[in-house]
Amino acid sequence: MADAAVRARVEQVYREDSRRILATLIRLLGDFDLAEEALHEAFFVAVERWQRDGVPDNPRTWLVSTGRFKAIDVLRRRARFRASRPLLLAQVEELEQAQWSDEDVEDDRLRLMFTCCHPALAADAQVPLTLREVCDLTTEEIARAFLSAPATIAQRIVRAKAKIRDAKIPYQVPSLSELPERLDSVLRVIYLVFNEGYSASDGAQVVREDLTREAIRLGRLLMELLPEPEVMGLLALMLLHESRRAARTSPEGELILLENQDRARWDAQLIAEGGALVERALTTRRFGPYCLQAAIAAVHAEAPTAAETDWAQIVGLYDVLLRATPSPVIELNRAVAVAKRDGALAGLTLIEGILERGELQDYHLAHSARAEFCRQLGRTDEARTAYARALELTRQAPERRFIEGRLRELG
């Protein structure tokens, strides 16, 4: 193959499979940093070898094998200079005899997710570590998801890795008896992954399909392990949101708001599957926040047109959700629903109350919503100021273009 074609293929495999390969290497090596070094060495070797020998039938297995041998070389070099030579040589021997299959590579990502969400780790480190190692989000992307400083997130991740290594936390899916106590963190991680894919925090595109697809895959795996109502609710929520993906942007990649989307482009199959899961979860009467959010998404999906959306029902569901999970972001979403039901002034009053409390000051969607309601009310100067603030906080290119368009309309 030509050099350019090989590089393109290597880049494709990296995008699609690098985190699965990393998860397997972490399990085999028991060391995050060594596994990451081995991963990058394997891809470096692939560029040369695949050009000479051709792309292997199973690139993923080839890369795991190559990464393992690179790690063995590193451990042997370390053994020459360290007092812990016998331990390192024993680790090399164990690694040389390690066996795995392609099914292992597929399941290792779920194993790693549960490891990153182990109760022995600090609660504020579990989700950032999982997003970094399992999903390849950058520290900056994770910091924006948590409205936190990148340095703070980086410190949490480093401490969590050290804890896993020092405490020898196993890389395995917990037993059925242990699953419930670990479930909340794992559900939260999967949803954060989906959200980053559904509306990327920065970059040239609205959607990162690789992340939404992976989050849904993990949600389905979790359903097989533990078909609890909240697992059903989360999977339903992701499917219902994913059903709208094709209609969320124009052919040129421009953002299309929900009320302006062509609903004929919504995926009816995903809506049917998500709606059935919502009904199944709600009938248990043991539902929580994910089920309630999925129910809200289902109301949107069932409306033939934007004008026929049952906003009263959506506001009622947000009321229940707020009691279950108090959150300024949920308050913001409820405020938007109230504005649809009762008018822009009602929504604006609620949003200004949230901002006056000092909450969501650095959240661009809060300022965008405030700007939109000011625009609808003819409060042009306030709308311009709010859109300008939203633009300062927005890093995703299509969202920036949308806000810039609004500012141009306002003169």
Report yes or no on 374 lying in a domain. Answer: yes
Q: Which of 72, 100, 128 is the last residue of a domain?
A: 100
* Residue 160 counted as domain residue: no
User: What pLDDT score was predicted for residue 85?
Assistant: 53
The answer to whether the beta carbons of residues 138 and 104 sit under 8 Å apart is no
Q: What is the mean pLDDT of residues 187-195?
A: 87
Residue 156 lies in a domain: no
Residue 289 maps to a domain: no
* pLDDT, position 51: 84
User: 99 pLDDT exceeds 60?
Assistant: no
- What are 20-45's pLDDT values in tens digits? 888 888 888 777 888 888 888 989 88
Q: Check pLDDT > 80 for residue 209.
A: yes
Which of the four pLDDT bands, split at 50, 70 and 90, describes residue 277?
Answer: very high
Q: What is the pLDDT of residue 334?
A: 97
Least Cα distance to 206 among 240, 243, 255 occurs for 255
| Predicted pLDDT of residue 27 | 81
Structural domain includes residue 279: no
Supply the mean pLDDT for the chain. 86
Query: Which pLDDT score, from 0 to 100, does residue 56 have?
Result: 87
C-alpha span between 179 and 128 (Å, rounded): 20
315 within some domain: yes
As beta bridge partners, residue 396 has 203
pLDDT at position 105 is: 44
> Are the beta carbons of 356 and 348 closer than 8 angstroms?
no
Q: Mean pLDDT lowest for which of 65-74, 76-85, 176-185, 297-306?
A: 76-85
Domain boundary among 70, 100, 130: 100
For the stretch 350-379, pLDDT in tens is: 999 999 998 899 999 999 999 999 999 999
Give the residue numbers spanning the domain of 329: 310-411
263 contacts 409 by C-beta, under 8 angstroms? no
Query: CATH number for the domain including 380?
Result: 1.25.40.10
> What is the per-residue pLDDT for 81?
55
What is the model's pTM? 0.74
* pLDDT for 120 beyond 80: yes
Judge whether 105 lies within some domain.
Answer: no
* Confidence check: pLDDT of 97 > 70: no
Establish if 387 belongs to a structural domain: yes
Number of domains in the chain: 2
The C-alpha atoms of residue 32 and residue 108 are separated, in whole angstroms, by: 14
Last residue of some domain: 100, 133, 157? 100
Q: Is 54 left (phi over 0), alpha (psi -120 to 50) or beta?
A: left
Q: What's residue 315's pLDDT?
A: 97
Q: What percent of the chain has pLDDT over 70?
A: 91
